[in-house]
């Protein structure tokens, strides 16, 4: 009896040559590192060196997070990935009323250049690759990073890393937006232009399906809505006067890796193939790097359980293997205790060790694209591709990603998928080990890492001291220049950098833009 995949597509018990009838390997596969990049974006993939091992971390104060980063680097992490707290993500200072109770809880609090200096103190920024999970205020955090690098004597041309900077998925699945879509897209285009001129090795956006998957999106939905957002960003940049080959090589993507290993491998292959075709046929990209879908992967936090948390070590291992077999460029492995609280030092180290075992103790890095030609993988890749393209066509029929967002299309589709998953779990049709099968009568005690609630008061004290010490007329003048640029068509990152250098806070800079651009209110909350 056939099973269904996470995308609701049939999985047959046996696959053979007939399942690939009239299947053209030259068109579907190609060679590794060549169009359509089904087999990976580099000819040698991991046979030369493994993927970048990033560990997403950040909590409490900048000093505490800095200590965690130093530990991760000492344990062998090859790339940092910064988690910011909710006030920072929403463009509010730690002493703002809306920040109360959230300071430092799900990430590090960064209010100004003072915090950024502490966050990366003692870490040579020309020797690490840093990914920052920040969206609406992405420009601010990138500029703060550049300013700290300049203080270290590091030229911006040597900086490598990524800002997530994908605000469209915030309207769909996550909610940490600030401005309406049109000015948000204008800000994205300004970041593209700024980095092309000032920080040429920086990845200007990480177009994210991860958060949609965490909200319940199926693999096909994750691919479709992520690539539809990517198309919207490319159109925005082209409309702003940029040549596609000037910025497309710096685009990157961010996907989840679930425990359903076969479909996840197929998903990654399908996504690469679709993106290569879109960039070539719709946008006329000529540079082969513009056609490459390069992506970071994070194992599926939504699949971790608070019950029997050590079982999450097994889940994360399978998810990480799916990402590697699917050809990821970098990987974060979740810690086994994340369903309970922030990861402890030990659990974060074990998560990193999972990647190191895959890279150094298995043979998955010995050959390029181990699953190529597998009947089941190639058929599932075709099936995921067809389902994703159908959804992308529906987005286009609605007028593109932004128009579809305004109509709630992606959100509605994802919510239906999430409801199906919840029903299957509640009924026991979908087995979750330790939750609806193989439970323990009594859970073993576990002591989680806790954030000191006094952090909020300490951050408020730092802000008060900063405002007393700085040159306030210089801050006021810089913020006025920023608002003038936002009202016109000048690139806002240049006056924004001046304001941040003068020690304007994240909240003050975002408030200046709120005064010009307004804030976004979802359609279902407009009355």
At residue 496 the predicted structure's pLDDT band, cuts being 50, 70 and 90, is very high
Q: What is the reported pTM?
A: 0.94
At residue 95 the predicted structure's pLDDT band, cuts being 50, 70 and 90, is very high
d(CA 507, CA 517): 15
Q: Residue 475, Cβ neighbours under 10 Å: how many? A: 20
1 has pLDDT over 60:
no
344 has pLDDT over 90:
no
pLDDT value for 57: 84
- pLDDT tens, position by position, 177-195: 999 999 999 999 999 999 9
pLDDT value for 77: 85
Which spans in 172-260 are helix H?
A: 181-198, 210-214, 219-239, 244-247
517 has pLDDT over 90:
yes
488 has pLDDT over 70:
yes
**Rounded average pLDDT over 59-69:** 93
DSSP string, 397-447: HTTSHHHHHHTTHHHHHHHHHHHHHHHHHHHTSS--BTTTBS--SSPPP--
Q: Residue 370, Cβ neighbours under 10 Å: how many? A: 16
Residue 200's closest CA among 246, 154, 241, 253? Answer: 246
In the chain, CATH 3.20.20.240 covers 30-427
CATH code of 30-427, in short, is 3.20.20.240
d(CA 37, CA 30): 7
């Amino acid at each position: 009896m056939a099973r269904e995949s996470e995308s609701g597509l049939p999985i047959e018990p046996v696959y053979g040559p007939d399942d690939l009838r009239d299947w053209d390997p030259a068109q579907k596969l190609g060679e590794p590192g060549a169009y359509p990049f089904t087999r990976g974006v580099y000819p040698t993939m991991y046979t030369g060196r493994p993927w970048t091992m990033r560990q997403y971390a950040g909590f409490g104060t900048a000093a505490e997070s800095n200590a965690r980063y130093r530990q991760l680097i000492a344990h062998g992490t090859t790339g940092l990935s910064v988690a910011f707290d909710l006030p920072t993500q929403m463009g509010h200072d730690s002493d703002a009323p809306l920040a109360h109770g959230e300071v430092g809880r799900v990430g590090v609090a960064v209010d100004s250049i003072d915090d950024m200096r502490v966050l990366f103190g003692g870490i040579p920024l020309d020797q690490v690759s840093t990914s920052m999970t920040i969206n609406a205020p992405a420009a601010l955090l990138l500029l703060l990073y550049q300013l700290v690098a300049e203080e270290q004597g590091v030229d911006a041309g040597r900086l490598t890393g990524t800002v997530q900077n994908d605000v469209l998925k915030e309207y769909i699945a996550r909610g940490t937006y600030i401005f309406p879509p049109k000015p948000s897209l204008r800000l994205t285009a300004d970041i593209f232009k700024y980095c092309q001129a000032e920080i040429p090795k920086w990845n200007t956006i990480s177009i994210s399906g991860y958060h949609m998957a965490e909200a319940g999106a199926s693999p096909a939905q994750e691919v479709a809505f992520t690539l539809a957002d990517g198309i919207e960003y490319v159109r925005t940049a082209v409309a702003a006067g940029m040549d596609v080959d000037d910025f497309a090589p710096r685009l990157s993507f961010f996907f989840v890796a679930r425990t359903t290993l076969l479909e996840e491998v197929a998903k990654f292959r399908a996504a690469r193939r679709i993106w290569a075709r879109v960039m070539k046929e719709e946008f006329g990209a000529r540079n082969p790097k513009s056609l490459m879908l390069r992506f970071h992967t994070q194992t599926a936090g939504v699949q971790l359980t608070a019950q029997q948390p050590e079982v999450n070590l097994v889940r994360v291992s399978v998810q990480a293997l799916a990402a590697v077999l699917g050809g990821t460029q970098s990987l974060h492995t979740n810690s086994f205790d994340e369903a309970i609280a922030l990861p402890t030092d030990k659990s974060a180290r074990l998560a990193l060790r999972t990647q190191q075992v895959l890279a150094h103790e298995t043979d998955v890095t010995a050959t390029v694209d181990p699953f190529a030609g597998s009947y089941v993988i190639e058929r599932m890749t075709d099936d995921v591709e067809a389902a994703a393209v159908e959804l992308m066509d529906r987005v286009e029929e609605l007028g593109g990603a932004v128009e579809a967002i305004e109509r709630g299309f992606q959100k509605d589709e994802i919510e239906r998928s999430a409801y199906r998953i919840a029903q299957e779990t509640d009924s026991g049709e979908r087995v979750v080990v330790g939750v609806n099968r193989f439970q323990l009568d009594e859970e073993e005690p576990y002591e989680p890492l806790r954030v000191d609630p006094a952090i909020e008061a300490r951050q408020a004290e730092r802000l008060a001291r900063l405002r007393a010490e700085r040159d306030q007329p210089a801050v006021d003048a810089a913020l006025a220049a920023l608002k003038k640029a936002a009202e016109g068509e000048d690139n806002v990152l240049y006056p924004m950098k001046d304001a941040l250098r003068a020690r304007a806070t994240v909240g003050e800079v975002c408030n200046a833009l709120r005064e010009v651009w307004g804030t976004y209110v979802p359609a279902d909350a407009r009355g």
